[in-house]
A = this chain, B = another copy of it.
Amino acid sequence: MAIRVQTQDFDAGLEIKLLRNARKDTGAVVSFIGQVRDLNEGDKVSQLTLEHYPGMTEKALEAIVTKAQSRWDIFDATVIHRVGTLQPTDQIVLVAVSSAHRGEAFKACEFIMDYLKTEAPFWKKEVTDSGERWIDAKHTDDNARERWLE
């Protein structure tokens, strides 16, 4: 498991390749990349700042990946989340999961993202034409996580 919280950008292609090549019986790698959109709730976004809770963040991400590993037969997972000030089209987060077969990797990757969105201590503040504002948590993210509790 690789968990990183960092200000600098990451090379998604390299991270995926590392997972692919770690085991010769890897059959599937599913990855998610989230990036800053230039538009949010109808407003032009010029900048996004990500705050986090150092110390808790890595622990929360680790716990989420461990939960995914106990639930699906996956080989490994990489989670990289950026903090600090970002611009539109900048990468925010990478979640990549390797496994023997695709079904497990798809589920585990989406599970990790849904839990990251609702349990990992990150907060976004955006700058739009009308000033700065904190982004509110979305009900759709809570609902996305609820699906996994069935």
Bound-complex Cα distance A16 to B106 (A): 17
Query: Per a CB cutoff under 8 Å, which of B16, B21, B113, B140 touches A13?
Result: B16
A48 to chain B, nearest CB (A): 11
- Report if A27 contacts B (CB, 8 A): yes
Number of interface residues of A (CB under 8 A): 36
User: Which of A31-39, A63-71, A78-86, A128-136 lies at the interface with chain B?
Assistant: A31-39
Bound-complex Cα distance A103 to B29 (A): 18
- Report if A150 contacts B (CB, 8 A): no
- Report if A3 contacts B (CB, 8 A): no
Contact between B102 and A24 (Cβ–Cβ < 8 Å)?
no
Contacts of A102 in B (CB 8 A): 32, 34, 110, 113
Contacts of A33 in B (CB 8 A): 16, 20, 28-31
- Report if A121 contacts B (CB, 8 A): no
